[in-house]
Structure 1
């Protein structure tokens, strides 16, 4: 079972462990138009590997190969991130099934659930917790 970790605790884990990585599994469009976690103060960048390929949203058949090509090993602590936590959970499950032993899902993702007005980024998730992020 993949553990959901709230974004603030993920940040603490990234600070504590220089080997820990964030793998953002959203699409190119989301990275470019919504933003990405800013890990520069920790001396790293998020690993950007789409779980689904825009615009067809077909599953990325090379996802696991891309993880390895990015230098992530089965022992690397990897915190998977998407918009709200669903795609990242699927990606973490696939990584675990492939032998990655320290995989986690970032609860509520980058933007979190919808607020009462139908907007994301204010109720939960990376952005709502005030963690560093940037536009690309």
Structure 2
């Protein structure tokens, strides 16, 4: 299966938080991956997909000392596979790291991979939480 790639960005494209919710709501196979750090999850909580009967994949793109060497492995452990055609939506604090995650996942054959503009907290505009989308407390490993 061919994964759509925006040649300018190196991933399928950007979605607002509301658009990301619509994708997740409309595609039971779509996956949301939060690439923030555990400290950020603890501070602001994580997107809550329980109303869609699924969990968010928590997979930090960066560790304390640099890139997470297990980032792509964690996607596979979450049930994704390169070339499977499942939609993957990446979110971070404000939309920067999730772009890098979408590019990395696309280059490894995952996706289509999308970035959530403005992330969970927002930067230049309202993010996931400010749009009123569900967030829940982070309670450790999931």
TM-score by length of 2: 0.85
Q: 1:49 aligns with which of 49, 55, 59?
A: 59
Structure 1, unpaired ranges of 5+: 115-122
Whole-angstrom distance in 1 between the partners of 2:81 and 2:47:
21
Give the C-alpha shift of residue 135 in structure 1. Answer: 1.5
Runs (4+) off by over 4 Å: none
Structure 2, unpaired ranges of 5+: 1-8
Whether 1:64 aligns to 2:72 is: yes
> How big is the alpha-carbon RMSD for the aligned residues of Structure 1 and Structure 2?
1.2
Aligned to 2:45: 35
Whole-angstrom distance in 2 between the partners of 1:92 and 1:61:
16
Aligned to 1:127: 129
Aligned to 1:15: 25
Whole-angstrom distance in 2 between the partners of 1:30 and 1:60:
16
Deviation per CA, 1:91-132: give whole Å up to 9, x if none.
110000001131000010000016xxxxxxxx4110111101
Whole-angstrom distance in 2 between the partners of 1:42 and 1:101:
20
When the two structures are aligned, how many residues end up with a matched partner?
126
